[in-house]
Structure 1
Amino acid sequence: MGDPTVLAAVAVAPGVTALRELPRPTLNSVSGLLEVEVTGVCGSDWGFYDQYVRARGPLVIGHETVGRIAEAGRDALAAWGVKEGDRLVLEEYIPCGHCEFCRAGEFRHCKMTEWRSGGLRYGATELNRAPGLWGGFAQYQYLHPNTVFHRVPDDLEGRYAALALPVANGIEWTRLQGNAGPGDIVVVQGPGQQGLACVIAARAAGVAMIIVTGLSNDNDRERLRFARMLGADHTIEIGKDDLLETLAEITNGRMADLVLECTGAEAAVNSAFQIVRKTGRVVLGGHLSKPMESFNLNQIVNKFLTVRGMRGHSYQSVELALGMIQRNEHNVREMSTKIFPLEATDAAIRAQASLGPEPVIHCCVDPWA
């Protein structure tokens, strides 16, 4: 059924993409094939594009895929409760389905999703692991029997549906895990894709004040402006403004009830524990590139803090995100800023990593453009 090959943007070397025709997978009764509509570009894709290709070899990146089921085995359709032609957004996780985490609905913690130790994950599985089409930067993407997906309404444009995972991260980190609510002062460190999603989630949670920090450069300055458009009450430019003094002035000395650390920078992690008030909460969403040289654990004890490290999103948060996007709450669709054709996948990844000529908040790759 269909053409025998699929056009894909393959990361063939660190920071190098090549368009290649890959064999269309042969399906069995429990697998399927998704015709890709668009795939969003995540800030983490740069890490796959550089470090992962260096360690594991060529792969098809992209894990924020929106598309329609082109074909699937009879048993797959029955197990998934869908039919060919149904529109879906995929999650990146491919869990085992039977471990204690999967049975508790926390499949993101399943060891089979640990791509760093050889597990399967969309957008992070090497080309030489059959059938190869594990990423969304292609015309079609393979559907593993354990695929986690969400239905997408036909009237929701693909570029907006592709916001589901980053917005879900914001909901998960801010509301479901950070317990943001009325009366809270929330500080979001970093105005990137995830940080801006946290701004939207905080506004939806009805918090009293949202403050966003970023670096004093043109790229972050534009994103801070965008944060204010999405609902941030104040922004602080690190390097231009003194963080502690400015925050103390804005909050009348109260400081933050909840700090959402979205940068993965050691200096930001340290400052998160300085600006949070006693009995406050710190959510660590950024991933450090290397272990911190020093950290004083006593500040957690002395301030009686609740600290939570984050890993992605839950099924619930993706469903909540899709609802928010469908209703365009708090101007969430404004996060979608650019669409690239498949041959410009390299430019899309670089743009999302702030390495392009113009800033983007969230961009997509359209394999049919």
Structure 2
Amino acid sequence: MALTVRAAVAVEAGRTELRELAAPTTSATSGLLKVAVTGVCGSDWPYYQQLPASRGPLVLGHETVGHVAELGEVARAKWGVKEGDLVALEEYLPCGHCEFCRSGEFRLCDATDWRLGGLRYGATGLSVEPGLWGGFSQYQFLHLNTVFHRVPAGVSPRHAALALPLANGVEWTYLQGGAGPGQTVVIQGPGQQGLACVVAAREAGAERIIITGLSNETDTRRLALARELGAHHTIDIESQDLLETVADLTGGLMADLVIDCAAGGTDSVVTAIQLARKRGRVILGGQKRRRIPEFDSDRIIARFLTVKGMRGHSYESVELALQLIAGDRHGVKKMSTHAFGLEDTDLALRSLAGQGVQGAIHMTIDPWR
């Protein structure tokens, strides 16, 4: 391959620049991926907006799909893939031997937590050799502990890049939330994760799927798409009373499952607890990065609620997501709305916060455009 690789490098808060980086030399225990596309995730925004001095500059992007380009002998034996295979990567680089890895919950492995000094695709700086740890690049380094998923035949890289956000929806709604036939599911927030939860709730056979949003143009479009994906009711919480509307729709019973995917403040956490019926479940899917000033924990006890905090996805949920994409179940491919080249990485990232293109839901970066 070429001696240099073209990549979009986050160099300071709110700015990337195109650079030619040295191509990594692979060893027996590593490999190289030729990136086809990488999805733009909402979790890229905090890094982009406030690039941590301890980690930048870095190559963002962790929803990577590409073809295996090079393989070391040890890596080949461990991974079970071959050159040319189209694969989707997870962001995690687990140790493989702790209790969480051994029990299949490798996302909880300390090695995946950058706050504890762990490595993670799309969140590891250029200063950590060999530097190409992100997908907004033509090639990406493959660590020995990479978690792979084979992309089903007939699925394009662009649509395969939906695997991780859709996997979050499957994980939160079905595997952890327990959504099923006859149930009412309320989803707060119509972003990528909220829409993925709609798809998962529909696939699980929920009887009543309700999703909330705001009055702005972005959420209005997304709520319309939510109805196409399977939501039975949409609620504009700025023009409708959320609690009263859900009570009316459920005959006063409220929701079996509430999933908080809303961005911003902590009000949605309080509301999620209020929306759940007795013996209901509440899934908290989005970090608020702030404390809740008035949190009525007694309500959890009085209504016998189960409240779970979510951290990403499991291997199983990614595999299920790829199956949903392969069959375009419930029109899930409609979530993929925009594709950009490396030179438009800033535009794509700003679009996450409504500062770029209109109508963006799931975007991809194609480094070869």
User: Structure 2-normalised TM-score?
Assistant: 0.98
- Report the CA distance between 1:153 and its aligned residue: 2.8
Q: 2:55·2:123 contact (CA, 8 Å) conserved in 1?
A: no
**1:144 alignment partner in structure 2:** 143
- What SS does the aligned partner of 1:235 have? strand
- Unaligned 5+ residue runs, structure 2? none
**1:272 alignment partner in structure 2:** 272
- What SS does the aligned partner of 2:149 have? strand
Amino acid at match of 1:319: E
**Alpha-carbon distance in 2 for matches of 1:154, 1:201:** 22
**1:191 alignment partner in structure 2:** 190
- Report the CA distance between 1:57 and its aligned residue: 1.9
**Alpha-carbon distance in 2 for matches of 1:14, 1:51:** 5
- The answer to whether the aligner puts 1:360 opposite 2:360 as a matched pair is yes
Q: 2:14·2:50 contact (CA, 8 Å) conserved in 1?
A: no
**Alpha-carbon distance in 1 for matches of 2:83, 2:331:** 32
- Report the CA distance between 1:83 and its aligned residue: 1.1
Q: 1:36·1:139 contact (CA, 8 Å) conserved in 2?
A: yes
**1:209 alignment partner in structure 2:** 208
Q: 1:38·1:67 contact (CA, 8 Å) conserved in 2?
A: yes
- What SS does the aligned partner of 2:81 have? coil
**Alpha-carbon distance in 2 for matches of 1:37, 1:154:** 15
**2:160 alignment partner in structure 1:** 161
- The answer to whether the aligner puts 1:314 opposite 2:320 as a matched pair is no
**Alpha-carbon distance in 1 for matches of 2:54, 2:307:** 32
Q: 1:134·1:141 contact (CA, 8 Å) conserved in 2?
A: yes
- Report the CA distance between 1:55 and its aligned residue: 4.7
The share of aligned pairs that are identical, in percent, is 61
Aligned-residue CA RMSD in angstroms? Answer: 1.0
**Alpha-carbon distance in 2 for matches of 1:3, 1:342:** 18
- Report the CA distance between 1:248 and its aligned residue: 1.2
- What SS does the aligned partner of 1:211 have? strand
**Alpha-carbon distance in 1 for matches of 2:33, 2:247:** 51
- Report the CA distance between 1:53 and its aligned residue: 3.6
Q: 1:12·1:53 contact (CA, 8 Å) conserved in 2?
A: no
Q: 1:62·1:122 contact (CA, 8 Å) conserved in 2?
A: yes
Q: 2:187·2:211 contact (CA, 8 Å) conserved in 1?
A: yes
- Report the CA distance between 1:54 and its aligned residue: 4.4
**2:262 alignment partner in structure 1:** 263
- Report the CA distance between 1:250 and its aligned residue: 1.6
- What SS does the aligned partner of 2:50 have? helix
**Alpha-carbon distance in 1 for matches of 2:11, 2:274:** 43
Query: Deviations for 1:276-295, whole angstroms, at most 9, x for unmatched residues?
Result: 11110000001112122231
**1:286 alignment partner in structure 2:** 286
Aligned length: 368
- Unaligned 5+ residue runs, structure 1? none
**1:49 alignment partner in structure 2:** 48
- The answer to whether the aligner puts 1:342 opposite 2:314 as a matched pair is no
- The answer to whether the aligner puts 1:87 opposite 2:81 as a matched pair is no
Q: 2:79·2:148 contact (CA, 8 Å) conserved in 1?
A: no
What are the within-5 Å matches in structure 2 for residues 121-136 of structure 1?
Answer: 121-136=120-135
Query: Deviations for 1:149-190, whole angstroms, at most 9, x for unmatched residues?
Result: 101134211110000001100000000000000010000000
**Alpha-carbon distance in 2 for matches of 1:52, 1:329:** 37
- Report the CA distance between 1:88 and its aligned residue: 0.6
- What SS does the aligned partner of 1:160 have? helix
**1:111 alignment partner in structure 2:** 110
**Alpha-carbon distance in 2 for matches of 1:93, 1:128:** 19
**Alpha-carbon distance in 2 for matches of 1:119, 1:355:** 31
